[in-house]
Structure formats: C-alpha cells, structure tokens
A and B are shown apart, each in its own frame.
Chain A
Amino acid sequence: MSTVTTNAKFNLGQLATTYNKMPDWLQGFTNATLGMSILLFFWWVGGILIESNPDTEAFAAFAPGPALTALWELIGTPFLWDTILSSLERILYGLFWGIVIGVPVGVLVGYFVFVRQVANMPFQFLRMISPLAWMPIAVLAFETWDGAIIFLLVMATVWPIVFGTAHGVQRIDPNWFQVARNLGADGYQMLRRVIMPAIAQDVFAGIRLAVGVAWVVLVPAEYLGVTSGLGYAINDARDTLDYDTLAAIVVVIGAIGYMLDTIAAKLIKYYSWKME
C-alpha cells in the first residue's frame, strides 16, 4: 500500500519536472488540450444526465458521442460546406460594410474633437442596442432576407470598428505629421505612410471585436426567412428532431468562430509596431 503511494508521488513529481522542461509552445499546447478535455468532460457528463432523466431522454443525441458521429458524417456532405459558405459570405459582407463605414467615421471621430463630442452620446446610445433589436426595421427596409441579415451584421460590426479606429487616430503622435510634412509628404502619402500604418493595429483590434459580435449575431439572424447558413441549419435540425446534427452544427459554429478570431488576432500581431 505504502509503496504504491510513494510511486504515485514520484510519478507526479516527475510529471511536473517534465512539464517544466517542455518548450513554451508545447506547454501552451498541453494546456489547451487540457482545457478542451475539461469542456468535453462536462459535455459528456451533461449528455449522461440528459439521458438518465426520463423528461429529457428524447434529447440524448446531444451527447458528444452521437454529435461527433453526426459531425463526421456531415463533413463528407456538400450540405455542410454550402451552409458554412453562405454563413461566411454574410459575415464577409457585414464586415465589409462595417469597415467601409466604420473606418472613415472612426478617423473623423478620432481626429476632430468637435465630431467626437457631437458623436459620442448618440454612438454610445446606438452601440448599446442589440443588433437583433433592429430585426423588425431591417425586415421592413430590405427587400431580401439576405439584405436584412447583412444590415443586422453591419449594425453589429460598425461600432467596434468606429471606436477602434478612433482610438488609433487619437494615439497618433502629432510630431509624426510634422516630420512627414517637413519631408515633403502630400496628403495621399501622409495617409499611406503615416496614418494607415499608425492606426492599423487598432483598426484590426476593432475588427476582431466586430468579428466576435457578428458571429454571435449571425446565427439568430439566420433564423429569419433564409434557407441557408448555420442558423438555418440549427433551426432545421430542431424542426426535424435531428438533435445529433444540431449539436454537430453547434460544434462547427464554435470551431469557425475560433478560427475567425485567430485570423483577426494574427492580423493584429502582424500590424502591431509597439515593441515591449
């Protein structure tokens, strides 16, 4: 008995030493794997609880086993890829218009104190309204369901981009303008060589937030009218009592959201110039 305990202690100590010796990236990977395992564990426990309760027994397919099997089958079908593509397309349109509107507005807000003071209250007010609250208006104002959804996404993406850009512009060192003018820069060169590189990381930080909000808003927005996209797929799976597919789509939504966030984080890192 006592020998076993000593052995276990020894093993734990050895494990800690091995962990400390690992390079940073491997430690990071191990920790991420641990986190995902914990999540999977809770999902699995949840599945067992659902199955064992007679009231919820019918939803047993939510458990990781059936869901991951359904996911594996879905990956082979064009249905899943079409669904993902139409959702991504809407996100891209929403982001595109969010950037086209948000960046110039953000530059104005950041640059002119007057504009900032005028815009602050209304923008903070509008920002606090859930994008989904615009749904009735969007449905009235746009001819197509797609148009309405993209409008909702723009309402979600534009604010973080405006505020991110404005923050970036406010951080610009005024001496940078003076030096550039002094070296003979014209307006376009000032924009291209000074303003854009100076604010890029803050714009992308805004875009990262925007992507997060937009992805969250997209799924309920796709409950509207349309017959494609991940939100529609979830609704459809619910209506056909296809719970394993429903859970599989939820996994897909999480995975793609994580990917989009990673891409945005990479862009921020690429465009950031501040050194520690």
Chain B
Amino acid sequence: MGSANIWITDLFHFYNKKQVSPTLENINLTIPQGQLTALIGRSGCGKSTLLQMIAGLLMPSEGSVRINAHTVTKPSAKWNMMFQKPSLYPWMTVRENAALGLVFSGTYKDKKDRVEELLDMVGLKDHKDKNVQQLSGGQQQRVALARSLATEPDVLLLDEPFSALDAFTRAALQTEVAQICHDYGITMVLVTHDIDEAVAMADKVVIMNHNPGRIVGSMDVNLPYPRDRNEAPFIELKEYLFSEFEKIDQAKESELEQMAS
C-alpha cells in the first residue's frame, strides 16, 4: 500500500451565505505520510465537515485539500472513509461487501486473494459466506474495515467509527486499526470526541474549537504501539489533553460571554 501527505491550505467553509461565523475558518494542516492524526473537538466544531472535505464528499468554500499530487475534488477509493454506521449492503454476503470497492474498479478478479486475506486478518475467517445481517455490530464494522482496506487506500478516514460499539469491542478495534495503519503505512485521520480513543490511536492530536470552527492546538503522542491504557504515561497524556481541552473551552466560553455583554 502507498502512503500520502495531506495538505490542507487556507480552507474556509460556509454552509450558507447568511452565516456570521464560518463553519471552518482558516484551516491549515499538513499530515505527513503514515501519520495517525486525531481531530478532536465538541460537536459542531466542523471536524466531521473537514473530514468529508478530505474524502472529497464535500467541497470547501475556499482553499483546498491536496493528497499527494491530487487536489481532492471527488471521492476516491484511494482516500476512503469509514463511517459511524457500517452501512453494509444487506443483500450481499460478507465477502461481497468487502470486495465491493474492487468490483467498482474492475480489479476484483485479479485480487480475490486479497479480500480473503483481509477478512482473515479482521477475524471474519468463518463468516465470509454469511449474510451481513447475521453479524454483530462489531463484526459489521470489521467488514466495513476490510471493505475500506481492500482498495489499498493511501489515506483512511474514520468518522467516529467505533462510537456505536460496546466498550470492549471498541477498545479492541481501536488497537487493531491503529496497528494495521502503522503496519501498512496508511495515513489515517480520525474524527472523535473521545479523548481516550484519540490517545489510544493517534500519533498527533489536533484540537478544534467551534464558532468559528478552527484549529486551536495540537499535541504529539509519542507512545509505542501497542499502547497499554493502564500505564502511567498513557494516563498522564490523557489528563493533560483533557485539561488543555477544558482550558480552551473555558476561554471560548468567556469570549462568548464578553461578546454577549
């Protein structure tokens, strides 16, 4: 699998022209290849909007997103997104769902083995011929993961993909996905409001604020994989990030109060 640099330059976004403060304001972000980045922030800070722009599902009002040599103007299997809901196709088996990206690009015939290997890797070896409706939520999200990986993406975008799962399955998938991205050198961007998840998966955490949506801080997470969530450095980082997050939030609150008075 290849890897990618993502460049986001001078990006602004308004959902409609009457908006006073932009949904996204002056976003500049460079993500080196193979890095795992987490975008965190309260809901409404525009983090999901930004992710959709990286995926090419939405065009920014101003500025641009580039991945390698391409300016992103449309979706591509090379930079693809995993959503909160697995959104599998219920008329297909596990294998057919996982192979779909390859079917669309017309390369499934040559890469059948790849789909089998991926399904083995995500722990669905015995479920390949089942209908996806027979699987649990965690297993369905694993199928979605295999489907995203089958097209050999340079960039994997995750939009709170584990938030609907139970705690145990969520932790397992967080660890696995981070490991897979590292092993294959995939550049990953994760949107989350879960600080635990951000510290567990990311190399770098980017903090966003709302009204207007902009980047207000970042923090490197220099912990080795696989990460032990009970070790002191992990807990320290988590607490540090939480206090940073609170500081920014309080500053924002007082700023809004000042504006109101």
Contact = CB atoms under 8 A, between A and B. Distances in A.
Interface stretch (B38-46, B101-109, B197-205): B101-109
A273 B91 CA distance: 5
Interface in B36-92: 55, 57, 75-77, 80-81, 83, 85, 87, 89-91
Interface residues of A, number: 20
A182 B75 CA distance: 5
Interface residues of B, number: 23
B89 A194 contact: yes
Tell me the interface secondary structure of chain A in the complex: helix
Interface stretch (A170-178, A238-246, A253-261): A170-178
Given A175-B83, A179-B83, A275-B133, A184 B101 contact: yes
Interface string A180-220: 11111110010001100110000000000000000000000
A9 interface: no
Given A189-B104, A275-B133, A182 B80 contact: yes
Contact of B75 (A173, A181, A189, A274): A181
Nearest to A175: B87
Contacts, number: 59
B89 A184 contact: no
A55 B134 CA distance: 65
B9 interface: no
Contacts of B57: 178, 181-182
B151 interface: yes
Tell me the interface secondary structure of chain B in the complex: mixed
Contact of B134 (A180, A182, A274, A275): A275
A197 B104 CA distance: 15
A183 B90 contact: no
Contacts of A193: 89, 100, 103-104
Given A189-B104, A194-B89, A197-B89, A183 B131 contact: no
A184 B91 contact: no
B210 interface: no
B147 interface: yes
Nearest to B88: A179
B77 A184 contact: yes
Nearest to B96: A193
A193 B91 CA distance: 10
Contact of A176 (B76, B81, B89): B89
Nearest to B55: A182
Closest 6 CB pairs of A and B: A273-B91, A175-B87, A183-B101, A184-B77, A275-B133, A197-B91
Interface of B: 55, 57, 75-77, 80-81, 83, 85, 87, 89-91, 100-101, 103-105, 131, 133-134, 147, 151
Interface of A: 173, 175-176, 178-186, 189, 193-194, 197-198, 273-275
Given A182-B55, A275-B131, 8 more contacts: A178-B87, A182-B75, A183-B101, A184-B76, A184-B77, A193-B104, A198-B91, A274-B133
